[in-house]
Structure 1
């Protein structure tokens, strides 16, 4: 199958190729150019021609932190839907938001509802099997979010690594008094609202979390991180709030800082060579949901490398356009959603930019209309989403 996309504004990492064209053969980009050539001479037959006049072609978005599957499975507290239904429905929604590779963020901790141990492991198995289904629209990966307070879970992380069930690993510490919960009040409000438990339950639980935090075996955690690195799986830290913590996580092998709490920490992360990742909803709202670092402040200070959907895939395209306007650079904005996350998770050789011989994961955007819209999404050379302009 050979596709031709022409009359396009092709967004490369360092420039925009105006009136450009792409030729896709099978699942691969074969040619990217804006030369006045007879491109039909390169192939005996063009199976599909896409006129991208007035549209921008960007690499498919690589979302390395997405909690969306949890909400798809559990739309209301204690109301779980069939897992296979949730995956198929989300698989339909994501390409409409320009996402062509998603790292489903699955929490492994002593949670409740969709985040219970059994349900988390079930989700991982479902995603692993779903990767190889031909009818899927996009590329699905597992981002395992290990809660370090769940001491017993560390052996399970090792087991999942040995079975090649994990594509990206992050470590979290949600104990009160640090990270995003420096004020336990926010933890209490979050738990009662999201998990539907009582304040008395939360208070008892917070005391237990403090005790678990005080008895962490960081040598064992570092050993598991080392095991992940030997399997070429990159590792992130979560809610980093001090410079001392940044030094520590850098030393144990972490290469991405998710949702740094302050601008100072984000700047220091950049200095250490640790990539920073912030959320699209933060950009759209103009603030963090719990009054931590504003993503646009970090972007304007050049200490945000990656934007993820966090909990809202529909915020990706809109936030990209906000960044482009705020930085006066569409290239820089697009890189935060494509090439930079691809580098962070080790798939840049295959995906994340529009280059010859890379996988044909592409999104055609109408960003000049009243509201930015995805017009066409192509994954591995196949059109998986299309709407009329």
Structure 2
């Protein structure tokens, strides 16, 4: 993926001094200077130059890099079947992420629909992506936005919807999703029913029909859709991700497809297979904080203890990303390593070489964070040197 930054409205300059800088391999008392949007100097010491912000010992760390979030979809549909105007939703989504320390986001949009009046869902990604790209070009956003297409293998329209996108859309990620009941994320049909029946108001008969339809779609389309989505990702120049791998065999297929990172493997065996194949492992921040998966899958804590975690995503709670990193820091007794899981590691996974670390020449995406009883409180957010939170 092209690592050049999306269009933004401005770049800025700032100096944060007398801070605990969280670097790639250590924490250092010092200062970081941003000039014209880029880090121009990193210095050791507690001196505070004239005009600098005295951080008084607060942490200063890179802006968070978010690869998978459902947050935009929550803003455009705040309740089931409630369609919210897209531009206000985009602006509110952007502002919320900035407030949580996320300075780079890959906005997840589903491609692949089910044309069923009772339990289906319609295409929306192309129109929403166009609105997002226009807002980005106009400089309406505080932070850096890229596109993430969630390719639903178990659908009817996947390849037609993906055909509407191209390299000019600068899609960063294509993730391969298969939400067929009885496997991967939804192996437990009881948990699936509790989740989806409540969300969509299904009766028992509706749910049974929905499950049967999804299984039919998988048997009809899965092979062609998976192969087609892999081809389309290559056409876009996007990084490929897998989703909810459960077995070593599934990881083998993902690796063969060219997957660079695995989103939320559901078992320790799958995570171990990812490690063996050199596929980066992503888990959800809510899983880390809660100590369990809401779908009944492997606990992120078990993967943390087994050294099977590389990247953390906020998933469905944006504010969880920073909090989860400090949870990891306590668990590992290694703050730089934990912070890398939400900054440098995700940036590397999507081939963004211009951010994710406090180093001269990289983007001035910076957070100032104070901790209270180990809870991180954001005291400032800078995106390309401009204070946005």
Q: 1:371 aligns with which of 361, 370, 375?
A: 375
Q: How many Å apart are 1:368 and its aligned residue?
A: 4.1
Q: Is the 8 A contact 1:128 1:165 kept in 2?
A: no
Q: How many Å apart are 1:159 and its aligned residue?
A: 3.2
Instruction: Give the secondary structure class of the aligned counterpart of 1:236.
Output: strand
Aligned position for 1:184:
189
More displaced stretch, 185-194 vs 90-99: 185-194
More displaced stretch, 183-192 vs 237-246: 183-192
Q: How many Å apart are 1:70 and its aligned residue?
A: 1.6
Aligned position for 1:196:
201
Instruction: Give the secondary structure class of the aligned counterpart of 2:197.
Output: helix
- Give the distance between the partners of 2:197 and 2:229, measured in 1 at CA: 32
The 1:105–1:251 alpha-carbon spacing in structure 2 relative to 1, beyond 3 Å, is same
Q: 1:323 aligns with which of 307, 328, 331?
A: 328
Q: Is the 8 A contact 2:32 2:41 kept in 1?
A: yes
Unaligned stretches of 5+ residues in structure 1? 41-45
- Count of residues in correspondence between the two structures: 375
Q: Is the 8 A contact 1:148 1:172 kept in 2?
A: yes
Give CA-to-partner distance per residue, 1:163-203, whole Å, 9 cap, x none. 42522110100111210111323222222122233332221
More displaced stretch, 371-380 vs 162-171: 162-171
Unaligned stretches of 5+ residues in structure 2? 1-11
- Give the distance between the partners of 1:220 and 1:77, measured in 2 at CA: 27
Moved over 6 A (4+): none
Give CA-to-partner distance per residue, 1:47-78, whole Å, 9 cap, x none. x5211112111110001001011222222222
Aligned position for 2:53:
50
Matched, 1:8 2:23: no
RMSD: 2.2
Q: Is the 8 A contact 2:16 2:53 kept in 1?
A: yes
Q: 1:92 aligns with which of 91, 95, 104?
A: 95
Instruction: Give the secondary structure class of the aligned counterpart of 2:18.
Output: strand
Q: How many Å apart are 1:93 and its aligned residue?
A: 1.4
Matched, 1:295 2:296: no
Matched, 1:237 2:247: no
TM-score, length of structure 2 as denominator length: 0.90
Q: How many Å apart are 1:362 and its aligned residue?
A: 0.5
Aligned position for 2:164:
159
Q: How many Å apart are 1:32 and its aligned residue?
A: 1.0
Q: How many Å apart are 1:237 and its aligned residue?
A: 0.9
Q: Within 5 Å, which residues of 2 pair with 1:252-263?
A: 252-263=257-268
Aligned position for 1:43:
none
The 1:382–1:188 alpha-carbon spacing in structure 2 relative to 1, beyond 3 Å, is same
Give CA-to-partner distance per residue, 1:138-185, whole Å, 9 cap, x none. 111211101011243113214313442522110100111210111323
TM-score, length of structure 1 as denominator length: 0.90
Q: Is the 8 A contact 1:77 1:196 kept in 2?
A: no
Tell me which of the two structures has the higher relative contact order, counting C-alpha pairs closer than 8 angstroms and 6 or more residues apart: 2
- Give the distance between the partners of 2:112 and 2:192, measured in 1 at CA: 16
The 1:220–1:135 alpha-carbon spacing in structure 2 relative to 1, beyond 3 Å, is closer
Q: Is the 8 A contact 2:126 2:164 kept in 1?
A: no
Q: Is the 8 A contact 1:233 1:346 kept in 2?
A: no
